[in-house]
Structure 1
Amino acid sequence: MKYPTQWSKHSQQQSLFQFTLWFLFVVLCVFCWQQMNQDTLWYFVTDAPNQMADIGSRMWPPRWSYLDQIWGALWDTINIATMGTALGVAIAFPIAFLAARNTTPNQYILRPIALFIIAASRSINSIIWALLLVAILGPGLLAGIIAIALRSIGFVAKLLYEAIEEVNPLQVNAVRATGAGEMQILNYAVWPQVLPNFIGTSLFRWDINIRESTVLGLVGAGGIGLKLEESMAVLAWPQVAVICCAILATVVVSEWVSARVRHALI
């Protein structure tokens, strides 16, 4: 019996298959690059550093006196993120249990419906939700809150139902062996195992929503984004600099609060 003189991790067929996949990937990248550059005006791209330097010079120094006019809008942004997250989490909670294989009451009707809701929520950006809701409900905070909630449902529900499906079945069987009903099994065997994931996911989503809610005002959904749009419309770049600094500070504080709450609860 003859052995190969040189050891190889993959067979010749596997190596050829991998080479073909990489070749197709490179071809796809080249094609996408050509499509992207087809309508690109490279003069504007090369001139971008000069434009950035020009706008940066107009932003300096920031007009710190403008802070007094944005506190209310900044508070609205925090409220949009917080209330939207709370509403989204409340809706996502039952949807996650309906979507998980080991907790859904019906594999053929309820589970596909729950999975469809999760996919629909995750596939549409919060800006698109806000555009639709502003057209339906009119401009204001309500449209922003619902837009954040609709976007949060899919994110929270997907991570939660995956955690439900990964629970330790031994604990579930142990509680079931005592004669417990289905609700008691969920309460004493499933829920304690997924609670840390639920808390962490909810706080993480709130942290993300703080960022997303800052731009909802650009489409009329209220918050600090409305002030940003007003300042950019009149080319008040020192005010734009103040708004950007306020948004950055808000995001940093929200990350600190999220980390502290997660550490305290988990």
Structure 2
Amino acid sequence: MNTTHALPNQEPRRWMRYTPGQRVLRFVLYLLFVLAIVQSMRTIDVIPEFLYDAPTQMADLLHRMWPVSWQSFQGSIQKALIETLHMATLGTILAVVLAVPVGLLAAEKLTRNRAVNFLARLILVSSRSINSLVWALLFIAIFGPGPLAGTIAIAFRSIGFIGKLLGEALDDAQPGPIEALTATGASTGSIIGYGYWPQIRPAFWSIVLLRWDINVRESAVLGLVGAGGIGMALNSAMDLFQWDKVALILLLIFSIVIVAEIVITRARKALL
């Protein structure tokens, strides 16, 4: 029988969560995080007097917003609200038409050409890297202020979102059905329609519905730069200090976001 005895001068082993190198690295990261916060606070240049006066100004603003001007809904505000929904819907449809081909080209398993994959991904990254407000300002300079510029801005911003997720869904598809169709000599259209589409259909509709929900929110903001929609009515009311109308428009924006969420939930259940 073998018996293991600890050496009398041997220290007991202690469990350590982090190695000394990991501790130093964590300390450096925490230090950089604190320094970034301190530097940001110094750069922002917060004026203490404005902070002290903020509760009073907020209370005064809320007092001016009440009562809400419900009678102002008929007319320009109602038209702007409908225009916002049209911008989000048309922008999403246009984005799907433009994003699907790019997403197909970005999928490595479907398009086996690295140069084409790189170009498609470059288009998707370029679309996502530019904010909707920047797209709106660009298209306002081209088409002039109005809902057309806002609709195209929404579409160009959505291409990267829809195309990227669609490409990832294609790459995640099970290879079995695709290999079977390929072995029978099926065309590329048949492979996409009968091999890929049944697998990515739930993901595709989820992506489109989610993007429409996002576009409803964004279209309400694009009007602040002149790209149509209810944001233009909000900007006009704020410029004229019509705070009761501002309250009405804010409530309408909140309401359409809630309604859009309900519509998305019902549509997902119906389609999926």
Aligned CA RMSD, in angstroms, stands at: 1.8
Amino acid at match of 2:16: S
User: After the TM superposition, which residues 153-164 of structure 1 pair with which residues of structure 2 at under 5 Å, given as runs?
Assistant: 153-164=159-170
Which one-letter code corresponds to 1:75 in the other structure?
I
Q: Which residue of 2 aligns with 1:100?
A: 107
Tell me which amino acid in the other structure corresponds to 2:21: Q
The answer to whether structure 1 residue 220 and structure 2 residue 223 are counterparts is no
Report the alpha carbon displacement of residue 225 of structure 1 after superposing the two structures with TM.
1.2
Q: Distance in 1 between matches of 2:261 and 2:244?
A: 26
**What residue in structure 2 maps to residue 138 of structure 1?**
144
Deviations 1:75-121 (A, max 9, x none): 1110000000110111111111111111125212x222211111111
User: 1:30 — aligned with what?
Assistant: 38
Distance 1:59 1:11 in 2: 58
| 1:16–1:235 CA distance, 2 compared to 1 (3 A) | same
- The partner residue of 2:80 within 73, 78, 84 is 73
Q: Check if 1:207 corresponds to 2:213.
A: yes
Distance 1:19 1:103 in 2: 46
Give the alignment of 1:46-195 within 5 angstroms: 46-69=52-75, 70-108=77-115, 110-195=116-201
1:15 pairs with 2:23: yes
User: How far did residue 190 of structure 1 move?
Assistant: 1.6
Please list the CA deviations of residues 49-74 of structure 1 after superposition, one character each: whole Å capped at 9, or x if unmatched.
11111110000000110011211111
Secondary structure of the 1:112 match is: helix
State the AA in 2 paired with 1:12: P
CA distance in 2, matches of 1:189, 1:251: 36
Question: Which one has a bigger Cα radius of gyration?
Answer: 2
* Gap runs ≥5 in structure 2: 1-5
TM-aligned CA distance change 1:22 to 1:145, over 3 Å: same
Alpha-carbon offset, residue 249 of structure 1: 1.1
Distance in structure 2 (CA, Å) of the matches to 1:265 and 1:136: 38
- C-alpha separation in 2, matches of 1:118 and 1:210: 21
Residue 244 (structure 1) aligns with: 250
State the alpha-carbon separation in 2 of the partners of residues 195 and 177 from structure 1.
23
SS in 1 for 2:189: helix
Find the aligned partners of 1:263 and 1:191 in 2 and give their Cα distance. 19
Cα deviations across residues 199-224 of structure 1 (Å, max 9, x unaligned)? 00110110011111112222211111
How many Å separate the matches in 2 of 1:33 and 1:221? Answer: 34
> Which amino acid is 1:19 matched to?
F
**Structure 1 counterpart of 2:59, which letter?**
A
Q: What TM-score, normalized by structure 1, do the two folds share?
A: 0.92
Give the C-alpha shift of residue 3 in structure 1.
8.6
Q: Label 1:188 to 1:226 Cα distance change in 2 as closer, same or farther (>3 A).
A: same
1:18 offset after TM fit, Å?
A: 3.2
The aligned counterpart of 2:3 is none
Distance 1:238 1:32, change over 3 A: same
State how far apart, in whole Å, the 2-side matches of 1:225 and 1:206 are: 17
One-letter code of the match for 1:103?
L
Q: Tell me the amino acid that sits aligned with residue 95 of structure 1.
A: V
